[in-house]
Structures are given as structure tokens and as C-alpha cells.
Amino acid sequence: MKCKEKKLYRSRTLPPDMLSNFPENVIDKILMCLPFRDSVRTSILSKKWRYVWRRLLEFMLSHTSWKPKEDLADLTSNFRKIIDRILAFHFGPVIKFTLSIPYFDICPFIDDLIRFLSRNDIQHLVLRLPIRGKPYELPPSLFTCSQLRHLTLPNCLLPHQPAFKEFDRSISLELRDVTISS
């Protein structure tokens, strides 16, 4: 058999690629149910799945998204890499974002993430930040999230924003251990 005939024979005998036949909305739904790390890893499943995570509307990022290490510097470095990947490669709106890092002693690089979300139509934002230590001071970019409907903030410092009027589309607001500066 010639090489071309072998390929033709193999393509007829291989089962169809079931993953590539899923509609885009089904693929998106599957990826939104997975931890962020696994969503990114699905890029190897098929050409149709390659980099689908980059257009997801919902993200859930937690300290379990990477292997926690004893060394805080290593943990912070891994967290920074994940945030950088999201900022560099994601396109389109992010409707819902949950960040859960309750055991960090510090909140590294979250300002960049909030700035990114404020430019990408965030509607539902949940920040589960360190439960000990100094409260995280929210950046001014949070107050520019005009589409925000649901906001959950624990252990934060809300700085005075003279130009801020309101989140006019707000449906729910959950504040725990929040300090509001005057």
C-alpha cells in the first residue's frame, strides 16, 4: 500500500472525533465547569478546542488552581503567571469572575486583574481575599465597572471615590469585614 492509501484507510477506520463535533456553546459550558487550570489544558484535545478558554465568559480562579507550595514567593510567582496568562490571552467580555485566595498573606497583582475586568463588561464579581492581615485596598478601576450587578467583597478597604456615584445596575452587594474610608 502506498502512503496516501494508508492515510485514507486509517481515516476511514478511525472513529469520528466526538469532541470536535460539540457545538461551541456546549464546549464553553463544559470549560466553565472545570477549574481554570483544566480549562486551559483542554487546548490539546482537538483543533476545535484549542484556546477556547480564551473566550470564556466565566472564570473561577482559586488557590487550588495551582499546586500550593510551602514557599510564599513560589506561590505568588505561580499566581502571577496565571494572572498574566489571562490578561495577555483572553479576549471578549468576562461576565462572571470569582477569585478565591483566602490563605495568601498578601494580595499580589489583583489591581491589574480588576482593571482588566472593568474593561471587559464584568457583571458578577466575587473576591474571596486573605482572611488575615491587612485589608486589600480596592483600586479605583473597580468603581468604573458600569455593568456590575453582583459584588462580593470580604476583608477590603473601600477608598473614598469623589467621582463615584453608584453601581446603578446593582442587584446584590455583600460586604464582610470591609472598611469604608471617609
Residues 35 and 93 in one domain: no
Q: Is residue 141 part of a domain?
A: yes
Average the pLDDT over 146-165 and give the result: 87
- Does the pLDDT value for residue 108 go beyond 90? no
Q: Is residue 41 part of a domain?
A: yes
Residues 29 and 83 in one domain: no
Identify the weakest region by mean pLDDT among 31-40, 81-90, 102-111, 117-126: 102-111
Residues 52 and 125 in one domain: no
Residue 9 has what pLDDT? 55
Question: How crowded is residue 117: how many other Cβ atoms within 10 Å of its Cβ?
Answer: 22
pLDDT tens track for 8-43: 555 555 566 677 778 888 888 888 888 888 888 888
Residues 45 and 122 in one domain: no
The alpha helices in 19-71, defined as continuous H runs, are 24-33, 36-41
Give the residue from 116, 124, 160, 167 showing the smallest Cα distance to 140: 160
Q: Is residue 177 within 8 Å of 155, Cβ to Cβ?
A: yes
Q: Between residues 72 and 114, which one has the greater pLDDT?
A: 114
Q: Is residue 126 part of a domain?
A: yes
- Domain span at residue 29 reads 15-56
> H/E element holding 179?
strand 179-180
- Does the pLDDT value for residue 68 go beyond 60? no
Residues 47 and 86 in one domain: no
Residues 34 and 112 in one domain: no
Residues 42 and 96 in one domain: no
Residue 67 has what pLDDT? 57
Residues 51 and 93 in one domain: no
Residues 89 and 163 in one domain: yes
In angstroms, the CA 114 to CA 19 distance is 33
Q: Is residue 42 part of a domain?
A: yes
Q: Which three cell numbers stand for residue 110?
A: 489583583
- What is the tally of structural domains in the chain? 2
Residues 98 and 130 in one domain: yes
Q: What percent of the chain has pLDDT over 70?
A: 79
Q: Which three cell numbers stand for residue 159?
A: 477608598
